[in-house]
Structure 1
Amino acid sequence: MTHYDLLLIGTGSGNMFLDKRFAGLKTAIAEEWHFGGTCLNVGCIPTKMFVFPATLAEQVTQADRYNLTPTHPKVDWAGLQNRIFSRIDAIESGGREYRSSDRQPNITVVPEHVHFTGQKTVRTASGEEITADRIVIAAGAHPIIPDIAGLDTARIDTDDYPVFTSNTVMRRAEQPRRLVIIGSGIVAMEFAHVFAALGTEVTVLARGARLLGNIDEEAADEFTRIFDSSHTVLHGAQSKQIDIADGGVTLTLEPSGRLAEADLPETITADGVLVATGRVPNTAELDVEAAGFDTTDGHRLSVDDYQRVLSAGQPVPGVFALGDISSPHQLKHVANHEAKIVGRNVAADVAAGSPGSARANDLAAVNHHAVPGAVFSSPQVAYVGMTEAEATEAGHDVTIKVQKFSDVAYGWAMADDPGIVKIIADRSTRRILGANIVGHEASMLIQPLIQAMAFGQKADEVATGQYWIHPALPEVVENALLGLEFDD
């Protein structure tokens, strides 16, 4: 049995806080997978490096909308992969080498899976017992695999099996000619855009009428209308059975029961299937029940405002968690924020003496107000705060404005590209409660609204108290703000 002052499980955002403040601690880092976690290796960064050229390719094929002659660009799949992953892999290996080298003499990297056997004890895959005074759990999440007849879950994401998840789809040796995507959330919509724009024949299986069903209904409806107009989506569909033969896949379909009617083919064939039905925290894999840690909805680690892990509703002295394993927001920027909070609080806990002895006044609380997100599909989607339904249910007297991109001059320049800005505000306080943008560069256009919510600025003051460049696209945000109706 080896004892450490600090044990870190996971090297995504959790690897960020481990700086010179902890140089005097004997520290272990347990990482069975890639250094850098989901975002660097299989998530945010490589997907956007695929999205950008895919969007360029899509724009080229749609050039006739702008009185230009369209062409159909050819994709150098191997070259694209090499450009992206040569950078990604170098960062991953550099991070691993740094933590493993003599430059970090107080740190031991444990390149194995670990699971809890007690509140402060873990066992490695090779059978070593590790104990620690303080533990930070940042082990992330993994793709959900639905229960489908004929699906060999043990072979998913292996080289010779044509069913895969976001963990491997970007590294497939060959770009699929025909791809079925199971799911209608963020991951599904981003990869549907990437592969369709790069020339793959993509079919999306969506169980419901709306794509991106977890965002504001009006925004989801707008996205669904636009996306359906240029992609093949089978609504109300789910896969009943998967059959693999000669390297191809045949899916037998059935109605999901979420639509009154669903006109579906009996089967659909493809070269590959991408399972994109959501992600679940890695709590079961860590056996957190053996440690007595609380979970929310049976999966997510329960933490308090200081990111301390809870057991029977009380913080476990010296045990913290961050990121997808504990956060209600599976977002990298949220995990990064939580990592900063954990770093500060672990340092305060160490300074106080025994684990759990830091005073509340010395701890920092997490801030989950005005958490934004974006979907890098076609069109882009960005959102922050409450949906209209949530704001109404919370008792707000809401005022709402929906502004079309085509209402402003830059929208005309884009040949009246579809898109909307929807802002939800409180009629009496004039505060913005939530916002949704569907359309070109939504992820950038929403930033003034995120800032307004974060700093408690009133919507009408944001609209009138600053210059808005004319005729830039942010005028659509300005006009939406001006269109809100407030009490006198």
Structure 2
Amino acid sequence: MSNAYDVIIIGSGPGGYVTAIRAAQLGLKTAIVEREHLGGICLNWGCIPTKALLRSAEILDHANHAKSYGLTLNGTMTADVKDVVARSRGVSARLNGGVAFLMKKNKIDVIWGEAKLTKPGEVVVGKMTKPVVEPQNPVPKGVKGEGTYTAKHIIVATGARPRALPGIEPDGKLIWTYFEAMKPDFMPKSLVVMGSGAIGIEFASFYRSMGVDVTVVELMANIMPVEDVEISTFARKQLEKRGLTIITEAKVSKVEKGANSITAHVETKDGKIQTITADRLISAVGVQGNIENLGLETLGVKTDRGCIVIDGYGKTNVPGLYAIGDVAGPPMLAHKAEHEGVICIEKIAGLPNVHPMDKAKIPGCTYCNPQVASVGLTEAKAKEQGRDIRVGRYSFAANGKAIALGEDQGMIKTIFDKKTGELIGAHMVGAEVTELIQGFVVAMNLETTEEELMHTIFPHPTLSEMMKESVLDAYGRVLNA
């Protein structure tokens, strides 16, 4: 029957559509169910369009400091919010169309509608609900829709959505999530950002570049709490130099709404409260898995803290049912979802030597100015584990390429196991570190030691030379410092 498949994937975000392509490559008859837009949040309202916004911000920052490069701009450089947003949405739309092409190329059926698990091996697809945000590309004609579909293997890849705090729920006007923050119809003069994870800091950085007065409120002692403290402390100083106000060990306890502004009541750890009035507030206090209305309860699927519980290969406690990506728990990153999906489908297909996900080797990147990137253990975590470690550091201020770029504020930090020489952590802050981190990710996956890194030839002049110098520093052999 035409509605029977080997694999059905619910959700077409980075995890879902990549898994579908790999399934098709392995000869499995594959369908993907999507209720809103191909590419999911990442492509349409997350990773990609935010980077387009941040690129506009970067160009503006450089233009505003043209004199330091010996350049004079004739006229005033200004940001047109409508055009900046239009460029971001155009980038997203182009990639959204690219996913549709890949589905067609790989002969993957796209089923449009709301999926529900009714019994093992069966998915009932209802009509498309009104999406949270309208898709940029219309649903193609002639594709599949409502109906009952069967598959031996069903993979849930429904992603996540912004978490809301009780009493401070986003309203789309005065209190924004990343949806509204990504497509403002005007540029606010002032802004409070609640939360300093990757989403919060990236938007804080973008809006500050656009000339907005930004205040960041973070509950923990350090911004970007998952990062190495030394790196996050450095990043904080640089962000504050750019004019951001950052309040840590504090929470927004209440928000009063005016006609066209908000007043945030910020409570510090000592119980004192200060009020901050701003045009808008961005709620960036994390995301939560989309596990509702899927029929998980009917099938008895085990969940924990709003996410589906899986093993290292994406299997749930229900035979034939799997989960990948954000809905399967942290770290909630697109590249984790993609790799998790490939592991899952290759295990389903019976490929040999399929290894479970090693979360210690998943890199994290924050695209603020300055950028932050990391992989592996922080210094504090390594010490908590009782590891005897060597730590190396190298400053951008000593690197020729960084100085030539006018980007000499940053550092690279490497952490090694003293006994074995194993690289167990790498942490960076500064220009283009999100492009550099993959070098250390590859090294960790190959179980590279400090000796092998020391004997690796890095090109000159490049920012990457600092990676080697950081390794050398850990062993008292740094050359250019």
Tell whether the structures are fold-level matches, with TM greater than 0.5.
yes
Change in CA separation of 1:410 and 1:7 when aligned onto 2, cut-off 3 Å: closer
Change in CA separation of 1:362 and 1:58 when aligned onto 2, cut-off 3 Å: closer
**Partner SS for 2:179:** coil
Q: How many angstroms does 1:422 deviate by?
A: 0.9
Q: What's the C-alpha RMSD, in Å, of the aligned pairs?
A: 3.0
Where do 1:217-228 residues align within 5 Å?
217-228=229-240
Kept in 1: contact 2:81–2:184 (CA 8 A): no
Query: Does 1:162 find its partner at 2:197?
Result: no
Counterpart in the other structure of 1:46: 49
Kept in 1: contact 2:120–2:320 (CA 8 A): no
Q: How many angstroms does 1:36 deviate by?
A: 0.5
Q: How many angstroms does 1:392 deviate by?
A: 1.8
Greater Cα shift, 446-455 or 371-380: 446-455
Any gaps of 5 or more consecutive residues in structure 2? Answer: 128-145, 477-481
- CA separation in 2, counterparts of 1:471 and 1:24? 47
Where do 1:71-470 residues align within 5 Å?
73-93=77-97, 95-96=99-100, 104=107, 107=109, 109-112=111-114, 114-124=115-125, 131-148=150-167, 151=168, 153=169, 156-157=171-172, 161-230=173-242, 231-246=244-259, 248-257=260-269, 260=270, 265-270=274-279, 272-296=280-304, 298-309=305-316, 311=317, 316-348=318-350, 365-413=356-404, 417-463=408-454, 465-470=455-460
Q: How many angstroms does 1:238 deviate by?
A: 2.6
Kept in 1: contact 2:396–2:407 (CA 8 A): yes
Change in CA separation of 1:84 and 1:422 when aligned onto 2, cut-off 3 Å: same
Change in CA separation of 1:92 and 1:410 when aligned onto 2, cut-off 3 Å: closer
Counterpart in the other structure of 1:4: 4
Counterpart in the other structure of 1:33: 36
Kept in 1: contact 2:19–2:342 (CA 8 A): yes
One-letter code of the match for 2:4? Answer: Y
**Partner SS for 2:349:** helix
One-letter code of the match for 2:453? Answer: V
Change in CA separation of 1:254 and 1:163 when aligned onto 2, cut-off 3 Å: closer
One-letter code of the match for 1:111? Answer: G
One-letter code of the match for 2:434? Answer: S
- CA separation in 1, counterparts of 2:427 and 2:249? 25
**Partner SS for 2:55:** helix
Question: 1:130-185, CA deviations, whole angstroms, 9 ceiling, x for partnerless residues?
Answer: 5543211111111111123xx4x4x634xxx2322113321232233322211111
Question: 1:305-335, CA deviations, whole angstroms, 9 ceiling, x for partnerless residues?
Answer: 22212x2xxxx32222211111432222221
Question: 1:91-114, CA deviations, whole angstroms, 9 ceiling, x for partnerless residues?
Answer: 425645875x8995x7351322x3
Q: How many angstroms does 1:216 deviate by?
A: 1.1
Counterpart in the other structure of 1:355: none
- CA separation in 2, counterparts of 1:421 and 1:374? 14
Kept in 1: contact 2:289–2:327 (CA 8 A): yes
- CA separation in 2, counterparts of 1:285 and 1:96? 26
- CA separation in 2, counterparts of 1:413 and 1:97? 41
Q: How many angstroms does 1:69 deviate by?
A: 5.9
Q: How many angstroms does 1:234 deviate by?
A: 3.0
Any gaps of 5 or more consecutive residues in structure 1? Answer: 349-359
- CA separation in 1, counterparts of 2:230 and 2:90? 40
- CA separation in 2, counterparts of 1:118 and 1:249? 49
Query: Percent identical across equivalent pairs?
Result: 27
Aligned residues between the structures: 452
Change in CA separation of 1:475 and 1:362 when aligned onto 2, cut-off 3 Å: closer
- CA separation in 2, counterparts of 1:131 and 1:210? 48
Kept in 2: contact 1:405–1:418 (CA 8 A): yes
**Partner SS for 1:418:** coil
- CA separation in 2, counterparts of 1:39 and 1:245? 32
Change in CA separation of 1:377 and 1:445 when aligned onto 2, cut-off 3 Å: same
Kept in 2: contact 1:209–1:236 (CA 8 A): yes
Greater Cα shift, 424-433 or 66-75: 66-75
One-letter code of the match for 1:81? Answer: V
Q: How many angstroms does 1:225 deviate by?
A: 1.8
- CA separation in 2, counterparts of 1:285 and 1:143? 17
